[in-house]
Structure 1
Amino acid sequence: MSRATSPGRLLLLAGAFVLACSAGVARADFTRLSALADDGFAISAEARLLDGAEETLGSITPDRALTPASVTKVYMAAAALNRFGPQYRFTTRLKSEGDVDSESGVLNGDVWLEGGGDPGLTSENLWRLVQRLHQAGVRRINGELVISQWRFGPVACVTTDRCEARTRVDNAYSAPLSSAGVNFGSWCVNVAPAEAPGEPAHITHCDGPQALTEVDNRLTTRADGSATRISAERVTGKHGDVVRVRGQIAADAWPRDVYRGASDGAAQTADTLLAMLGRFGIPLSGPPRVTTAKPPEAAETLAAVDGKPLQELLLRTLNYSNNYMADVLALNLVETPGAELADAGAALEAYAASLPGHGEVRLASGSGLTPENRATAHGINVMLESMYHQSALFPSFVAALQSPENGVMRFIRRGPERFQRNVMLKTGTLNEPRAVRAVAGYFRTQSGRWGVFSVLVNGDRSTPYLNWSKVLEPLSGDLAEMIADR
C-alpha cells in the first residue's frame, strides 16, 4: 500500500530534480584532459568562442608557458601570410654577366643560380630553368656554375638532430637549410626489386638514371610474398654523400621512393642542376661552386621560375608538418642577408608581440624542432583569433590545418563524431628532451559558432610515456561536449 507524499517532500524532490538537471547541462570544460595533471604532466589549455559574446568554455593554467613543438608552425604560417600574402611566389633565377654568341650558342661567363628562398623548389623547377636557358639559345657555358645562397645558408645547426646530420642521418626532417636548397634538402632514391630472388635490388635516383650521389646498395631481392624491410641512411665521407640502403624487398613489391637529408643543401642543388644541364647537352668549362655572395650587379636574368603560391606551400608545410619548409619560410621573414634560425625566431616573436594581449612567447625556430620554444594556450588563441578576423587571409590559413576525419596524419582520426567533423587543427610532437603533445586550432559549435582552442601537454623525466591516445582521447571528448553545448 503506497504512502502519500507530503507537500514538503514534493518540494525537496522538485529541488533535487532541478539541481540534477542543472548538473547535467553544466558548461563543458577540460575535465577529462585535466586528469593528466595527476600523472605529473604540465598543462596549458584554453577553449573559447569567438563570434558574438566571447566566452571561455574551458581552461587549465592558460597563461603557463610550455613547449609547443610543431604547433610553432601555426605562428610561422600566420606571420608569413601577414608578411607576403596568400598568392606570393618565391622566384629562383639563373643570371650571368656574359653574352651569348648567337651563332655558336656559347655563353662566355659564369652562370649564377640565385636562390630565392623557395621552400618548395624541386627538380622539376630546375628542369624548367634549364629548359628556358636552352630556349634562350645557350648551348655551352664557357664558365662555372655558381650557386648563390646569399639570402641565408648554410644555416648553423641548433638542434642535436641537425648537427648529427652533417655526417650521418636516417631521416629527411633533419635536412640542411639554404635559400638555394632543392627537393626539401634531401636526396631521393627509387628502390625496386630485381628480376630474380637473391639479386641486389634496383636502386636509381628519383630524377633519372644519372647518379647524383653515390649509392651503397645492400638491399636484396627476396621471393614473392616475402616481408619487405628497408633501412636507409646518408653518410658523408671524404668524397661526399653516400646513400646506404640495406635490407630486403619482395620480388612482387612495388617500387618506392626513399628520402634522406643531404649534408649540404646548396651543394646538392649544384649537383642536381649540373645533371639537368647535362641532359640538355649544355657543358660547362669548370666545376660548380657554392657561395654566400650575391650575383654580380651587372648580371642579367637569363631564366627564372616561380614557385607555388604561399597558400599552397603552407598547406603542405602544415599538413605534413614539414620541418624543412617551415624553417625556410621563417628564415624568409628576416630582411638582412645571412639569416640564422635565431633571427627567424626573433621575427616570429616580433609578430606575436604585435598582437594585443598575446603575452609571453619564446620562439627559436619556425618548425618547433627547437625544444627551447615556449608559448601559452592563451597566446596561441590570441594569434588564432587575429587570423580569424582577417577575411582576406583566414581562408588560406584555416585550409592549411587538418580535419581529424580526413587528416593526413592517421593518428588524429579518432574521437567522437562532433570532434572529427567540427574541428580543424595542427598537432605538435617531441619526445626529447621532454615529451610534448600539443594541439591547436578552430572548432564550430552545433549552432555554427566559431571557437579557438589550444592545448599544450609537457612531461619530464619522471612522467610516464606520453602517447597521442592519452591526449587526444580526453581532449576529443571535452571538445565534443563544448561543441554540443553551444
Structure 2
Amino acid sequence: MLLVLATALAASARADGFPATRALVDKGFLVGAQARLLDSGESLGSIAPDQQMTPASVSKLYTAAAALKQWGPQKRFTTELRSDGAIVDGVLKGDLILDGGGDPGMTSEDYWLLVQGLAQRGIRRIDGRVLASQWRFGPVPCVTTDRCNARMRTRHAFDAQLTSTAVDFATWCARVMPGDAEGVPARVTSCTGPTPLTRVDNRVITVAQAETGISAERTTANGEDTMVVSGQVRLGSAPSNVYRSSADPAVQTLKTLASLMENAGIAVTQGYATTSTRPGSTTQVLSAVEGKPLQEQLLRMLNYSNNFMADVLALNLVSGAPSMQSAGAALDAFATSIPGHGPVSLRSGSGLTPESHTSASGVTALLDDMYHQSALFPVFVAGMQTPVNGPMNFIRRGSQRFQQNVMIKTGTLNEPVPVRAVAGYFRTLSGRWGAFTVMVNGRAPTPYINWTTTLEAVASDVDAMIAGH
C-alpha cells in the first residue's frame, strides 16, 4: 500500500510540472504556480494556480501593462514652470509655480533644463514666491508600515513618499569621498553638486587600510531631513553614493530648484513653499520639460523594481483626486478585463502592500494577454531581466540554459511574512514562447525562505520545460 501511495505521489509531482517547486510546500510554505505555452495554450504544470497569494513586486507587471494599454509606449509627462506675472527688465513680477505633471522619472537634470528655460527668457529675479503645486496628487497618505515609518526615519530608498511633483525618485543622494589623510572626516557632497541639498551629520572617518563600510539613516525633525552618515572610507578610494528616501518629496524638489536657481543667477525674493492649489487659467508657461517616453520609464521601473515609479504611474491611471485606494481599484479593473484572469485585489502599483493578492493563473493570464499585444509586447518584455545579463546578482541561479532563455520579474517581501515571487517568459529549445508564474508565501514570519532556495527550485522546473518542448 505504501509503495502504491509513493508511486502515485511521484506521478502527481511529475504531472504538475513543478516537482522541485512543490518541495517548498513540504517545508510549510504556500505555493501557487502555473506554466503554459503561449502559441497553443497547453498547460505545462501548475500548483494551486487559483490560490490567492501576495505577489510583492510582481505587481509591477500589472502597472506596466495597464500604463502601456492606457497611454502607449510614447506617452510623456510634462512638467511646467508657470506664472501670471509680467517680466519687466529681467524681473518676474509675481509667483512662479511649479506644475508637477506626475512624471515618475523627473531628475535633477530635468529641473536644470526647466531653470535654464527661465534664464533663456532673461529672468534674473522673481519678485514673489516659488510654489511647488501638488494639485494632481500629493502628499499621498501612506498605507504601508514602511512608508508610514519613513515619514520620520529610514535606512532605505524603496519607501519613498508619493507626489506628482518629485525629483530623483523622491530620494536624497549623498556622495561620500575620503578625506585628505587618515583619521580625518570624509567629505560628503550632493550627488549632483558640491553642496548637500539637505542637512548632513557626517560621522564617516578616513582610514588607511580597512575596507570602506558606510551606513546611513535619514531622520526628520521639525520638518527638516538629516542624512546621518556613519562608518569608514578607505584613503584613495572612489566616491560612494548613498540613497535614502526623503520625508517630503515636494520640499526636496524645492530645495533642488533653489540650488539650481542660485547657480543660474536667479534670485527669489519671497521664498519657497508647497501648495495643493492648481495653477490658475491666467497663468502662462514660462518653461516646460517633457519626460522620457513611457517605454524608457518602464525599462527602469521593472529592471530596478522602482517602487516610487510604479506607484506614481498607478496614481496617474486615476482621474480626479487619486489615492492609493483608487489606484489599486484602477489596477483591479484592468486585471479583471484580462481574459481568464479571475479574482484580484491590488492595493498598490508597486507591491509594497502585503494585502495585495492575485493568483498564479491570474499573473500568467496577464503575461499571455500581453504576449498577444503585438504592438506592446516588445516594450513590456524589454523591462524584464534575463538572469545571465541582469543587474541583480541574486537572480543568476540555475543552469545556463535557464538563465539565457527566460525573462523574469521578481518580487520580495519580508514582513509580515516572507514572499518570494517570480513571473515571466521563457523560450523553448524549439523557439516556442511560454509563460510561468511562481509565488511562494510564508504562513508566519518564520521559517524564512531565501532567493537561492526559491530560484533554484523554479529554475530546475522551468529548465525542464525549456528542454522538453
Interval containing the TM-score (normalised by the shorter chain): over 0.9
User: Given the alignment of the two structures, is residue 395 of structure 1 paired with residue 383 of structure 2, yes or no?
Assistant: no
- Please give the root-mean-square deviation of Cα atoms over the aligned residues, in Å: 1.2
Q: Does 1:453 align with 2:436?
A: yes
- Out of 237, 244, 247, the residue aligned to residue 228 of structure 2 is 244
Cα shift readout 1:257-285 (whole Å, capped 9, x = no counterpart): 11111110101101110111111111111
| Matches for 1:73-472 after TM superposition, within 5 Å | 73-101=60-88, 104-223=89-208, 225-238=209-222, 240-337=224-321, 339-461=322-444, 463-472=446-455
1:65 and 2:52 equivalent? Answer: yes
Q: CA deviation at 1:210?
A: 3.1
Q: Once the two structures are aligned, what percentage of the paired residues are identical?
A: 56
DSSP 3-state at the match of 1:455? strand
Structure 1 residue identity aligned to 2:350? S
Distance 1:322 1:462, change over 3 A: closer
Specify which of 19, 22, 26 is matched with residue 34 of structure 1: 22
Q: Gapped runs of 5+ residues in structure 1?
A: 1-22
Q: Which residue type is aligned with residue 268 of structure 1? A: Q
CA distance in 2, matches of 1:280, 1:463: 55
Q: Which amino acid aligns with 1:73?
A: K
Structure 1 runs of 4+ with >4 Å offset: none
- Measure the CA separation in 1 of the matches of 2:243 and 2:274: 23
Change beyond 3 A, Cα 1:161–1:281: same
- 1:62 maps to a residue whose letter is P
The code of the aligned residue for 1:141 comes to I
Is 1:477 aligned to residue 437 of structure 2? no
Tell me the distance in 1 between the aligned counterparts of 2:86 and 2:248. Answer: 31
* DSSP 3-state at the match of 1:263: coil
**What whole-Å deviation, never above 9, does each CA across 1:10-49 have from its counterpart, x for those lacking one?**
xxxxxxxxxxxxx9xx778101110111111111100000
State whether residues 404 and 424 of structure 1, in contact with CA within 8 Å, keep that contact through their aligned partners in structure 2: yes
Query: Shift in Å at residue 252 of structure 1?
Result: 2.1
Q: Is the partner of 1:405 in helix, strand or coil?
A: coil
Partners of 2:43 and 2:82 in 1: how far apart?
55
Deviation at 1:322, TM superposition (A): 0.7
Aligned-pair CA distance for 1:356: 2.0
Q: Deviations over 1:195-220 (max 9, x none)?
A: 10010100111221234211111111
Q: Which structure has the greater CA radius of gyration?
A: 1
Q: 2:8 maps to which residue?
A: none
Match of 2:3 in 1: none
- The question of whether the paired residues in 1 share the 8 Å contact of 2:76 and 2:292 is answered with yes
Q: Aligned residue for 1:4? A: none
Q: TM-score, normalised by structure 2?
A: 0.96
Cα contact 2:62–2:331 (8 A) shared by 1: yes
TM-score by length of 1: 0.92
Q: Contact conserved, 2:174 with 2:196, CA < 8 A, in 1?
A: no
| Code of the aligned partner of 1:91 | T
Describe the SS at the equivalent of 2:19: coil
- 1 CA distance for matches of 2:165 and 2:223? 22
The one-letter amino acid paired with 1:147 is: A
1:58 is aligned with what amino acid?
G
* Alpha-carbon distance between aligned partners in 2 of 1:346 and 1:72, rounded to the nearest angstrom: 13
Aligned to 2:4: none
Partners of 1:257 and 1:38 in 2: how far apart? 42
Q: Distance in 2 between matches of 1:138 and 1:194?
A: 39
Q: Which runs of 5+ in 2 are unaligned?
A: 1-10
Quick one: which amino acid aligns to residue 322 of structure 1? N
Are the aligned partners of 1:28 and 1:485 in contact in 2 as well (CA < 8 Å)? no
On the 8 A contact 1:167/1:235 being kept in 2, the answer is: yes
Corresponding residue pairs, total: 457
- Work out whether residues 80 and 98 of structure 2, in 8 Å CA contact, stay in contact via their aligned partners in 1: yes
CA contact under 8 A between 1:27 and 1:485: conserved in structure 2? Answer: no
Aligned residue type for 2:227:
V
| Cα distance in structure 2, aligned partners of 1:460 and 1:60 | 17
